[in-house]
């Protein structure tokens, strides 16, 4: 698990969502998380199914944000849970040993340790910078990535206002994946934007 981790925006326009996601996959994104906080169940199911088909085409994993029932119904590749969602242990028990389970750990290394013990596949830290999409305290110190890589044998994801420029020092600290929403989905050229993130890991 290394490279650009794509997180979808709250777009109701499924065709636009698929078109931009495909451009990002062509640009080298390695993983997609379907996240739509305001969709109704019908739209969420339709979009997730379509994204799963697209990701299968490009042989990239699709994770579902929060919705365990949807992940199970579609047999998606995994799930990402936050601090107020179903616990990592419960999710791991439900999806089995082979699916990807990601955990938001914010700026708390102890949460990452707990997630690791509960069966997480990776730990995600942030926010590091102000985000155009997610609202949270921008208080996560960059050195948490270094600490995590020393203490926890799991890939570390960084999220929160990520651009290729401000992600670079976090990759230097040891981040395995950079999660991006706006920097790719709102870019004039999403494929080029994705490729710019990918170059961080090939330097």
Q: How many domains does the chain have?
A: 1
Q: From the candidates 60, 104, 121, 131, give the one annotated as an active-site residue.
A: 104
Residue with tokens 């709102």: 186
| pLDDT for residue 34 | 98
Question: What is the per-residue burial (b if ≥16 Cβ within 10 Å, else e) of 155-193?
Answer: bbbbbbbbbbeebbebbebbbbbbbbbbbbbebeebbeb
**pLDDT in 10s for each residue of the chain, 203 residues:** 999 999 999 999 999 999 999 999 999 999 999 999 999 999 999 999 999 999 999 999 999 999 999 999 999 999 999 977 789 999 999 999 999 999 999 999 999 999 999 999 999 999 898 776 666 666 788 999 999 999 999 999 999 999 999 999 999 999 999 999 999 999 999 999 999 999 999 86
Active site residue 202: no
| pLDDT for residue 127 | 87
Active site residue 135: no
Q: From the candidates 2, 50, 87, 134, give the one annotated as an active-site residue.
A: 134
- HSE-up (13 A, CA, CB side) for residue 196: 16
Handedness of CA 112, 165, 168, 61 (dihedral sign): positive
Q: From the candidates 35, 44, 60, 92, give the one annotated as an active-site residue.
A: 35
Domain boundaries, position 126: 3-202
3-state secondary structure (DSSP) of residue 168:
helix
| pLDDT for residue 203 | 66
Comparing CA positions, the residue from 133, 188, 189 lying closest to residue 162 is 133
Active site residue 99: no
Residue 132: CB atoms within 10 A of its CB come to 10
φ, ψ of residue 106 to 5 degrees: the values are 55, -120
For the question of whether the overall pTM of this predicted structure is more than 0.85, the answer is: yes
CATH of the domain at 185: 3.20.20.70
């Amino acid at each position: 698990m290394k490279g650009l981790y794509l997180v979808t925006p709250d777009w109701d326009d499924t065709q636009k969502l698929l078109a931009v996601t495909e451009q990002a996959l062509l640009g080298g994104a390695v993983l997609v998380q379907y996240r739509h906080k305001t969709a109704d169940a019908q739209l969420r199911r339709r979009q997730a199914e379509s994204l799963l088909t697209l990701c299968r085409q490009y042989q990239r994993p699709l994770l579902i944000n929060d919705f365990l029932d949807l992940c199970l119904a579609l047999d998606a590749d995994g799930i990402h849970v936050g601090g107020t969602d179903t616990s990592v242990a419960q999710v791991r028990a439900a999806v089995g040993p082979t699916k990807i389970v990601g955990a938001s750990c914010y700026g708390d290394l102890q949460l990452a340790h707990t997630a690791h013990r509960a069966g997480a596949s990776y730990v995600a830290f942030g926010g590091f910078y102000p985000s155009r999409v997610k609202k949270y305290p921008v208080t996560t110190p960059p050195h948490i990535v270094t600490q995590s890589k020393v203490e926890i044998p799991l890939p570390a994801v960084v999220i929160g206002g990520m651009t290729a420029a401000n992600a670079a020092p976090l990759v230097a600290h040891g981040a395995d994946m950079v999660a991006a929403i706006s920097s790719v989905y709102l870019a004039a050229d999403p494929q080029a934007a994705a490729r710019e993130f990918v170059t961080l890991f090939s330097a």
